[in-house]
Amino acid sequence: MSNYLPPQHGAWAFLGLPLVLGATVATATPLTLVVAVAWVAAYPLSYAALGLVRARHPARFRRPFAVWLAVVLPAVAVLVVSRPWLVWVGLGYLVLFAVNLRYARRNDERDLVNDLVFVAECAAMVAVTWAVGAGERSWSPPASDTAPVRMWVLVIVCALVLLGATLHVKSLIRERRDPRYAQASKVIAVVSVPASVTLAAWWGWPQGAWLVVPFLALAARAFLVGGRSMRPGAIGMIELTGFVLVVLAAVLSSS
């Protein structure tokens, strides 16, 4: 199974967060599920594609690539037929994937810049999820000025949460010997709190106040967990809990 599923287990939570956040402000349609299938399956597909490009034994990635391609292609076909403007979105993601490919060829996938590109890809999916529900069968996506303010708030929320998680996890595992990552993690955590207050006001009081709660928890996590020696599994569970709090805050703010 190692050839079929990427070893970065935390990435699955990164993929799921924007879909759930987008769904809280999107019009529910069957296409929302199709978007989720295409988005999630595209991750192991890209992993297999990168394996074909750079692995010492690329043949072992041929079958996983074919399997995931068989999942992604029908979903993409349905989406393009229903929302032709998604072709332009797909081209944008291909440009970002080219950046990922460049780092993969250098065997440096975990470079911070590459991680930030992944954060951008995920945050943008909040808007894509909303647009699929609100869009029509045309070559033009929904106009940006028709998007609800709350969608834009959740795009920023998603970006802040994933950026904080990226720096925090790096500071505890891969970059634990570099104090700059721990400092950056704490700075982002602290700055995110007043930013969340602004986002809550943009969302609308009093419901928007829920959005501040997870950022307070994530700020506490940055200081209480930062610098400790922990197993990756425990770190992952703490981050997943933070993601769940963010989703709950979005749901409660929408109610």
Nearest to 12 by CA among 33, 42, 53, 49: 42
**146-156 per-position pLDDT tens digit:** 889 999 999 99
Question: Is the model's pLDDT at 74 over the cut of 80?
Answer: yes
Token look-up 């799921």 returns 16
Q: What's the pLDDT at 228?
A: 67
Burial 209-220 (b: 16+ CB within 10 A, else e): bbbbbbbebbbe
pLDDT exceeds cutoff 70 at 157: yes
- Average pLDDT for the chain: 91
**Full DSSP string of 114-126:** HHHHHHHHHHHHH
pTM for the structure as a whole: 0.93
The pLDDT tens digits for 195-242 are 999 999 999 999 999 999 999 999 999 998 866 677 888 898 999 999
Residue 171's pLDDT band, with cuts at 50, 70 and 90, is very high
Tokens 């034994």: give the residue.
Answer: 57
Burial of 116 (0-12, 13-18, 19+ CB in 10 A): middle
| CA–CA dist 221, 185 (Å, integer) | 10
Confidence of residue 24 (pLDDT cuts 50, 70, 90): very high
Residue 1 has pLDDT above 70, yes or no: no
The token duo for 60 is 């072992």
Q: What is the structure's pLDDT at 251?
A: 96
User: In this structure, are residues 43 and 121 in contact, taking their beta carbons and an 8 Å threshold?
Assistant: no
How many angstroms separate the CA atoms of 141 and 131, rounded? 7
Q: What is the pLDDT of residues 112-156, one digit of tens each?
A: 899 999 999 999 999 999 999 888 889 988 887 788 999 999 999
Backbone conformation region of residue 42, classed left if phi is above 0, alpha if psi is from -120 to 50, else beta: alpha
d(CA 10, CA 240): 8
* Strands annotated E in the chain: none
Give which of 187, 188, 225, 195 is closest to 212, Cα–Cα. Answer: 195
For the four alpha carbons of 234, 244, 117 and 2, in that order, the dihedral sign comes to positive
What is the per-residue pLDDT across 37-46, written as a single tens digit (0 to 9) for each?
999 999 999 8
Q: Evaluate whether 162 touches 123 at the Cβ level (below 8 Å).
A: yes
**pLDDT-above-70 percentage for the chain:** 98
Task: Write the pLDDT tens digit of every residue in 81-124.
Answer: 999 999 999 999 999 988 988 887 777 777 889 999 999 999 99
First-to-last alpha carbon distance for the chain, in angstroms, is 41
Look at residue 15 and tell me whether its pLDDT is greater than 80: yes
